[in-house]
Amino acid sequence: MSDKFDVIVIGAGPAGYVAAIRAAQLGLKTACVDAFAGKDGKQALGGTCLNVGCIPSKALLDSSRQFHNLTHNFAVHGISADNPRIDVATFVGRKDKIVKQFTGGVSQLFKANKITPFFGTGKLLKGNSVEVTAPDGGKQTISATNVILASGSVPIELPFAKFDGKNIVDNAGALDLTEVPKRLGVIGAGVIGLELGSVWKRLGADVTILEALPDFLSVADADVAKIAAREFAKQGLTIKLGAKLTKADVKKNEVELTYEDKDGAHQLTVDKLLVAVGRRAYTTGLLADDTGVKLDERGRIVVDEHNHTGVDGVWAIGDAVRGPMLAHKGSEEGVAVAEWIAGKAGHINYDTIPWVIYTEPEIAWAGKTEKELKDAGIPYKVGTFPFAAIGRAVAMNEAVGQVKMLAHAETDRLLGVHMVGPGVSELIAEAVVTMEFKGSAEDLARIVHAHPTLSEAVHEAALSVDKRAIHKGN
Ligand code: FAD
Ligand code: AMP
């Protein structure tokens, strides 16, 4: 078959499928090629995010949170239940249903937008054709004026702790355990390690996280990281910093770990090991040798500020290119590229991309950290407000953490907002909107916030920038 499209997208993760939908909305004849197969072997659109990332992890985080509340937090409300148990098959099965609902939803959206899906591996050929190899090995070539590469990322494998899908697992494996491991080892205290470690800890696993770096959560603001570390320790999550895994031997259904820290080598035996040491851009088989598309030293597709590869009509977005590996970052690049292709003014502001970690308490931030401002020599003012003084948080029995706001010392422009506490995954949006509109701390301070809500912590932190918070000493 030979078919000519305006746009072919390779990869149907949150970057690729969103790019395809936006391109179709703009009247472009669009195809999307994706190789991901679901548990039933059929095409499952949505990439890492919908199949083995954002959505299934949040499903398990929510279920495990309910269980943890039942076993640990309900008593204070006067609620008790005898002998609470977790049925892991139902727990994982519910997650699978949600995944299916959403991957099926992307198929429906493709139909509604008249996007042609191709199931198979796409390889970019010179001249903007794409060779599609179906799961049965059948090949066909399609071509387009524009090709958007959105091939995403895959977990990094440690050579001495290779994934076996049984004892040593990646994120996909950790979302599909069939029973609660007695002892779970997690390598890497990044977003994925913390979230999935929390899931199994809440269900009763003894979880030890080994992190090679000496500082906890060094991507976040230091105050937020400190509060989070304290709360995780209270929950019984063991996090060993400056601890580098050097060996992992599977023996009789156990994994014997060797890690090194400042005191030398140590051993630790676990039943399951989750290796979550980061992800790398995935481009295996994506590019014919003569396309002219370049990869950088980390294997990412090289693009300019408009996500263009430098090869006529070839663009790249999402985890496969520079920038944070976040679903919404990829989606916004997808929208922008579709708009640029259609001759419109696409836009993406990398300075206001929010980060969220869905642990308990949640962690969220946008903009610069205090350290980044210091290093850049930018003068700033700080405002903070604790959830302990927020009526709604206390009523919820979740009065942990704070909102911290950083504003320019002279102009008051909001430069960074860092939150740890209840519901901050939602609260961060207000900070993003303010920063996107180049607003000031005073703008936020003058906005009416409903009482009693968690959002009052944002309001009070903004007031605190100017030393006039009402419900705390300044
Ligand atoms: P992907 O989602 O990786 O999709 C790429 C798709 O392209 C895949 O379907 C792949 O099979 C396909 N593909 C690759 N090469 C080819 C080819 N040659 N031909 C055909 N198809 C191909 N981000 C957040 O923002 N919030 C979260 O809460 C969050 N939680 C996460 C939790 C976990 C456990 C993990 C692993 C990740 C999480 N992420 C989260 C990160 C998020 O999943 C990624 O940033 C996002 O999926 C990247 O989107 P993408 O479209 O670039 O790539
Ligand atoms: P992220 O990139 O946010 O997913 O985090 C991955 C984390 O894994 C980083 O903080 C790394 O420092 C950590 N890491 C990488 N290799 C090792 C290792 N061998 N032992 C322990 N931690 C590691």
Cis (ω within 30 of 0) for the bond into 361? yes
Supply the pLDDT for residue 1: 44
What would the pLDDT profile of 97-126 be if each residue is shown by its tens digit? 999 999 999 999 999 999 999 999 999 999
For residue 313, what are the contacts with CB-CB under 8 A and spacing of at least 6? 128, 144, 145, 146, 147
Strands 314-316, 139-149: pairing is parallel
Distance CA 181, CA 271 (A): 6
Going from the Cα of 51 to the center of ligand 2, the distance in angstroms, rounded, reads 23
Going from the Cα of 410 to the center of ligand 2, the distance in angstroms, rounded, reads 38
Instruction: Indicate which residue's Cα is closest to atom 19 of ligand 2.
Output: 245
Strands 30-34, 2-10: pairing is parallel
Instruction: Indicate which residue's Cα is closest to atom 2 of ligand 2.
Output: 278
Going from the Cα of 455 to the center of ligand 2, the distance in angstroms, rounded, reads 33
Q: Which of 351, 380, 383 is nearest to 365 (CA)?
A: 351
Instruction: Indicate which residue's Cα is closest to atom 16 of ligand 1.
Output: 151
Ligand nearest to the Cα of 190, by number? 2
Q: Is 40 helix (H, G, I), strand (E, B) or coil?
A: coil
Ligand 2 pocket test, candidate residues 277, 356, 365, most atoms within 8 A of CB: 277
Ligand 1 pocket test, candidate residues 151, 200, 333, most atoms within 8 A of CB: 151
Residues annotated as part of the active site: 451
Supply the pLDDT for residue 128: 96
The answer to whether the CB of 282 is under 6 A from ligand 1 is: yes
pTM for this entry: 0.97
Q: What is the DSSP-derived secondary structure letter of residue 419?
A: E
Ligand nearest to the Cα of 186, by number? 2
Supply the pLDDT for residue 248: 98
The answer to whether the CB of 155 is under 6 A from ligand 1 is: no
Q: C-alpha angle 95/327/207, rounded to 5°?
A: 50
Supply the pLDDT for residue 279: 98
Distance CA 107, CA 101 (A): 10
Distance CA 329, CA 333 (A): 6
Supply the pLDDT for residue 474: 85
| Residues of the chain scoring pLDDT < 70 | 1-2
Strands 121-125, 272-275: pairing is unpaired
Ligand 2 pocket test, candidate residues 168, 211, 247, 259, most atoms within 8 A of CB: 211
